[in-house]
Chains A and B, each alone.
Chain A
Amino acid sequence: MSHTLSTLAYLVASVLFILALRGLSHPSTSRRGNLMGMVGMGIAILATLATPGMRPGGIALIIAGLAIGGGIGAVIANRIQMTALPQLVAAFHSLVGMAAVFVAAAALLAPQSFGIGVPGAIHRQSLLEMSLGLAIGAVTFSGSVIAFAKLAGRMSGAPILFRGQHMLNAALGVLLLLLVAGFVWSGSPALFLLIAILSFALGFLLIIPIGGADMPVVVSMLNSYSGWAAAGIGFTIGNLLLIVTGALVGASGAILSYIMCKGMNRSILNVLLGGFGAEAGGAAAAGGAAQPARPVKSGSPEDAAYIMRNAGKIIIVPGYGMAVAQAQQVVREMADLLKKEGATVEYAIHPVAGRMPGHMNVLLAEANVPYDEVHELEEINPEFAEADVAYVIGANDVTNPAAKTDKSSAIYGMPILDVERAKTVFFVKRGMSSGYAGVENELFFRDNTMMLFGDAKKVTQQIVQALQK
């Protein structure tokens, strides 16, 4: 395939990728969009296979790699549980990062494959682009591995903090820049290796101080990094498709990070510096010990069923706890029974509910909840005042009215769901513990709140049984 023809094929693939993202503007066009993405990828792979000068042995290796990797990927994609989606995405990001590292290494060893020089005499500019692709790829890899471990529960989700942490990271960052400068000047493979090692360490150190509930931001950010890594490699090897796609993915991840940060009223820097909740938790615990316990109203699932049976409008507020308890299916059963009783049932999703952007929407979709019953914060907030019942299951901080009034609160200014405006609030929870931010929820002590203590799934199941009677 001639150069012009392959460039044209890459252009077509780029457009198809843009259309794939465009398709996600509505559920009805999304599947076609995904299909376009697949076609685009197919075109890109075929065009690359047809590059003049490909050796038969190399082509055999490529096909073997595609078959092995593709097989593994297909099996994982079909077996994974939807609740495990966040860690799966983190794991996938790490693979892109590592692939970028490998391609950078291959470009250093065999630069003539990409027309950027000969071994030992690679163009300066290509060395710079190569080291950027390498460093971002390596940070993406090790950062994603840590994010994966935290999300999958392989390591504690608690922030890991030590003295001088930020100084150490800053020092490593400066050292990394010096190494990159040295590498661009000398092209030395030893410096290449050092950059790789240092970047792996940096990715690891950057993510360990960030707590579990901040993972939506981390996952989005690593998504963005994987795009920038691809773009860096694209610049190195002068490939238009890699550059365009890398920019698309990089922009996408950056926007998602921004949306997540806005959902918590925190700056990206505040999230990245980490340690959120650790200090506030200590303070709240100390303060809580001094104060006498405040009274809360608690009720049984039967009480809740009785009130809900007579309700006209019910809004369900799911959070990460629903995912942990795998309660989405039984929540939908409850909603079905209530609808049979003549109530309208809707769902309210906070932007940072769950462990990745859109996590709750996928879980509810999996439980067959129609997507037009599921609403975003701005859309649903005015409706709480008309609701008879708000059913909060597995969410906490995102419902705390203190975010609106208490300037001293760690979550002050965070947009919250106005559940307290509903006539009755049911709060399903194991105990009285604070949420991730380490702040006690004001909502527990309101007159219109009834706590339903217990496991999210069991409590909801008992309500379902009571409704069936």
Chain B
Amino acid sequence: MNAEELAFRAQEMAERALALALEARAAAVEAVPVIEHGAAAAEPFLLLLTIFLLACFVGYHVVWSVTPALHSPLMGVTNAISSVIVVGAMLATGLGDSWLAQAFGFLAVTLAAVNIFGGFLVTRRMLAMFQRKG
């Protein structure tokens, strides 16, 4: 393929991308009133369920792109981020007006913190090994 042809192809692709972008913008503008209307009408639960299902799809696609060699670090990272449950634990500790709820919250914060630091740091150690070349 010579340079001229390459440039021509690139231009063609750029034009197509532009057209797609314009279409996407138009679609988004149309979608706004629908979403606003829907959000007002639908229960918050349905909204959360929608987010949940979309996140499942995102997770599905992202995880299939993970190289099998890094499946152990993947477990380390997912382990660490699942400790985001610390958010619920912190709210219980900071806002709770029963000492028992606060105590449960405190225990949960502590357990989740072990996991956050442990998970990210052990993953960092694993990944550092994959950087060195023999």
Contacts and interface: CB of A to CB of B under 8 A. Distances in A.
Interface stretch (B11-19, B28-36, B62-70): B62-70
Nearest to B132: A368
Interface stretch (A102-110, A199-207, A274-282): A102-110
A80 B123 CA distance: 12
B42 interface: no
Given A58-B95, A95-B114, A99-B108, A370 B134 contact: yes
Interface string B50-88: 011101101110111111111111111111111111111
Given A34-B77, A242-B84, A249-B82, A41 B115 contact: no
A244 B55 contact: yes
Interface in A59-78: 59, 61-62, 64-74, 76-78
Given A244-B51, A358-B70, A250 B59 contact: yes
A241 interface: yes
A70 B108 contact: no
Interface string A367-399: 011110110100000000000000000000000
A156 interface: no
Contacts of B80: 37, 41
A137 B91 CA distance: 18
Interface string A225-243: 0110111011111111111
Interface string B22-52: 0000000000000000000000110010011
A234 B123 CA distance: 25
A31 B56 contact: no
Given A62-B94, A361-B69, A365-B129, A24 B124 contact: no
A227 B131 contact: no
B106 A61 contact: yes
A181 interface: no
The interface residues of chain A, by DSSP majority, are classed as helix
B97 A20 contact: no
Interface residues of A, number: 121
A125 B114 CA distance: 31
Among A45, A67, A376, which residue has the most Cβ atoms of chain B within 10 A?
Answer: A45
Contacts of A373: 134
A107 B88 contact: yes
B3 interface: no
A80 to B, nearest CB: 6
B1 interface: no
A261 to B, nearest CB: 14
B117 A25 contact: no
B65 A65 contact: no
30 contacts: A14-B55, A18-B62, A21-B59, A30-B70, A30-B127, A34-B124, A41-B80, A67-B113, A68-B113, A69-B110, A76-B118, A77-B117, A78-B121, A106-B92, A110-B92, A112-B95, A114-B91, A223-B75, A227-B78, A230-B85, A234-B48, A237-B91, A242-B88, A247-B52, A249-B82, A356-B75, A357-B75, A358-B70, A361-B68, A368-B134
Q: Which 3 A-B pairs have the closest CB atoms?
A: A69-B113, A251-B59, A358-B71
Interface of B: 44-45, 48, 51-53, 55-56, 58-60, 62-98, 100-102, 104-134
Given A114-B92, A248-B59, 10 more contacts: A24-B66, A25-B66, A66-B113, A69-B109, A69-B113, A72-B114, A106-B89, A244-B52, A248-B81, A361-B68
